[in-house]
A = this chain, B = another copy of it.
């Protein structure tokens, strides 16, 4: 015995399938006699009827799914975001289809094509790479989208981004409060919007507080990686510029600093303080535990999902964008300068 269909319910309740359909759908229930509706609903329950979303989707052109485009689920940044998204999607009767692009533009195109052919109702895009032409094209074709972690410039797409500027400000203020005057910045790649925003915010935070604003104190890393962070710090150190603290572009870069500290016998935090960015898991297990800026990843995901659901409900609504506040997590890698 298979899952019962609408027909079965209708037969059992002694009504026409059309009537059963209307009775079961809250939006059209008003068209049906209240008694009949009740009866149909009861029968449906007793039979364990579950509407077949595939059949429904065919007629209504809605699939109840949205696509999540991320670079790599394995990157600890994304699971909390995805979790936040799912937590909002699920109660709304939607599910997410995840694709990993590995930051490969070709793959990205293909995957998005896949998602579209699966009739997703919208896209949540968390990849930085996405080239504008594709984005603009999707926009033109009326594909609903929400961007995560990245502000699309020039294109009118809703986005959720952490308030990086304030985050950096928080880090700088913390170090300044501890008494640091010469603070260095290991920036992430400036091609990424995050890298750029944080680097700019760093300069202005330094100026605002009247600290030493020396271009030599900023070094740009080629990737958001540990190795790149290590290379960056070495360059900074070898340059001979004095500094007592480092604001790293993200936690991985900060981790690279740890490697250099070990390598050169530098003590953290007594000789150099470090602040990371992201609050990845297990940072508290490091020696010393890393002080960092926490990003509410799960909230970001949840907010993104909400925005997308809004857009699905009313595609005409203008693109809204959200900036989520960050917080400083003080641990052991920061201390007053000697």
A294 CB to nearest chain B CB (Å): 15
Are A258 and B282 touching (Cβ within 8 A)?
A: no
Looking at A12-20, A73-81, A177-185, A321-329, the stretch in contact with chain B turns out to be A73-81
28 residue pairs bridging A and B, Cβ less than 8 Å apart = A3-B117, A50-B113, A50-B116, A51-B117, A52-B117, A52-B119, A53-B119, A54-B54, A54-B57, A54-B58, A54-B63, A54-B119, A58-B58, A72-B83, A73-B86, A74-B79, A78-B79, A79-B79, A86-B99, A86-B100, A90-B99, A90-B111, A90-B114, A96-B97, A258-B285, A281-B282, A282-B282, A287-B287
Interface contact A97-B95, CB-CB below 8 Å: yes
Chain B residues, CB < 8 A from A73: 79, 82-83, 86
Q: Which of A43-58 contact B (CB under 8 A)?
A: 50-55, 57-58
Residue of B nearest to A251 (CB): B282
Size bracket of the A interface: 35 or more
Interface residue A217 (Cβ < 8 Å from any Cβ of B): no
Taken together as a complex, chains A and B put the C-alpha atoms of A287 and B268 apart, in Å, by 13
Tell me the bound Cα distance from A53 to B58 in angstroms.
10
Question: With the chains together, A114 CA to B287 CA distance in Å?
Answer: 44
Contact yes or no, A117 B285, CB < 8 A: no
What is the bound-complex CA distance between A281 and B283, given in angstroms?
Answer: 11
